[in-house]
Structure 1
Amino acid sequence: EELTLELAAVELLDSSVIVMSVYRSPDGNFIDFLERLEDCLSYLSLRKKKIVVCGDFNIHLETPSTEERRFTNLLLSQGLFVANRLPTRGHSCLDTMATNIDSWDYNVSVVTPLVADHDAVVMDLNYTCSATSEGKTPPSWHEDYNFIKRTVKDDQLPLLSWQLGQLD
């Protein structure tokens, strides 16, 4: 089942946005992936919120294909538009974002992270925190959060060390 669809979602309460991160293994069943993704998106759309779906879909979005069309049509059927088709691994666009947020309310870029085999797709949202817009003091950004760490494998430490040395 992990080969079909892995996902995590959070709702940003101060901006009424749901962000869902998705991973699809290239070895998983594509039809099963689409069906499960559709179930998740249908459920989220009932909440009447803005939605951002991002992740490594392992679908070549840079060139037309049956998989690309089926994926794009599924997103469109849920009111979501693909926000990135720029390459994220070599010349391929395997990672993207899709959203129902108006295109003038965000910018999307592709950046090279410190340690990863894919470039990162970054979205800058032009949204105001509802607490700020109502004149309230927003909560501290780290309040009510649990922090976890990502393990960097030993063979990646020299690369991480070198990359950190390149920062100002």
Structure 2
Amino acid sequence: MNLNIQGGITNKKEALESILNNHDVNVLCISEHHESSDIKFLKLLDYKVLSYFSRTSCRGGGVCILGRESLNFSKIPFNNSEEKSFEMCSIKLELNKECVTIFSVYRSPKGDFEAFVEKLSIMFEAIYEPKNKHILCGDINVNLLENNKQTKILKNILLEYNLVASIEEPTRITYHSRTCIDNIFVDFTGLKSLAVDTCVSDHTFQLFFFEEFCNNNCTERFFRNFSENNVNSFIDLVSNTDWNNLFYDIQSDDLDKKFNTFYEKLKPIFMSCFPFTKKGKVSYRKKTNWFNRELRELSRAVHEMQQVNKRIKNDLYIK
């Protein structure tokens, strides 16, 4: 899994654990962890830090790779990171008798693109082994949905090593933009990938897995369809709903009652505009005791409302 956690990992550990608790993740690549070298002591469930880079001269940034303690991995004694322009770490993973090299990289929006490209090439020359499989994860801050000079340069360099993007949809959605700046680049087939929205960051997390490791324990996943048409329908229906009894009911100052009235009106609109759709299969890991059904439902409700909020560019004027 690849995620720009945006704003640091310290205050988002529980939210990140809830994501890991719902997905069968072996390796997690994080951008912008905002931690010092003390991140090497970070523990999340049964995951530990396998490799990392932390800034020393300025705040923010940083990359790390976490993995389950049971993984058979080795550290790669190479790092040519440059703060903001090219931050990287890597591991070599023995997986089902195959060797997979995993790179985690980050380039700040203020980072030098030419320096990034140069250091990316140096990294590949030093580490790339044709007999191995390779996975490059990260937030490069180059929008692959645009056909511009930077996109062409990046794609050409990656193609020299047979690396292609596995994600072709927006990975960061704001009120003003929809960009694909996070990705997982691979040099082999037999891989499935998903970009999944999360309330941890305004970046999606990219989940990728080998088909041969998706066994009989896989479960069908269902996602709400937050397409542009559905969002527009939601806006129209909410805008045309009569909310007067909610705001001007002088008979009651009970906020709980007003909220229940609001929720009962909003819920059927939401359910009709954003129905569940089936999308692939993902295997589930064993659930932890603290993350119970009630927390899971609350987390999902917050997450779903956030997705609508992120896609609505104009203010809603309640009639």
Select the structure of larger CA radius of gyration.
Answer: 2
The RMSD of aligned alpha carbons is: 2.1
User: TM-score, normalised on structure 2?
Assistant: 0.39
- After the TM superposition, list the runs of 4 or more consecutive aligned residues in structure 1 that deviate by more than 6 angstroms: none
1:53-132 matches, within 5 Å, as: 53-90=136-173, 91-102=178-189, 105-127=190-212
| CA distance in 1 between partners of 2:127 and 2:161 (Å) | 10
Structure 1 residues 103-130: Cα deviation after superposition (integer angstroms, max 9, x where no partner)? xx111110012411211111111346xx
**Pick from 107, 110, 122: which aligns with 1:27?**
110
Per the TM alignment, residue 44 of structure 1 is displaced from its structure 2 partner at its CA by 2.2
Partner SS, residue 111 of structure 2: coil
Larger relative strand fraction: 2
**Deviation per CA, 1:49-98, whole angstroms, max 9, x where unpaired?**
10000110100111100000000000001121121121011111010111
Offset of residue 166 of structure 1: 2.3
Share of identical aligned residues, percent? 27
Provide the C-alpha distance between the structure 2 equivalents of 1:30 and 1:164, rounded to a whole number of angstroms: 42
Counterpart secondary structure, 1:37: helix
The Cα shift of 1:12 comes to 1.2
Structure 2: which 5+ residue stretches go unaligned?
1-81, 214-294, 302-319
How many Å separate the matches in 2 of 1:163 and 1:5?
A: 37
Could you tell me which runs of 5 or more consecutive residues in structure 1 were left unpaired when the two chains were aligned. 129-161
Give 1:166's match in structure 2, choosing from 268, 292, 299. Answer: 299
Q: CA deviation at 1:9?
A: 1.0
CA distance in 2 between counterparts of 1:64 and 1:75 reads: 16
CA distance in 2, matches of 1:16, 1:127: 15
CA contact 1:16–1:49 (8 Å) conserved in 2: yes
With normalisation by structure 1, the TM-score equals 0.72
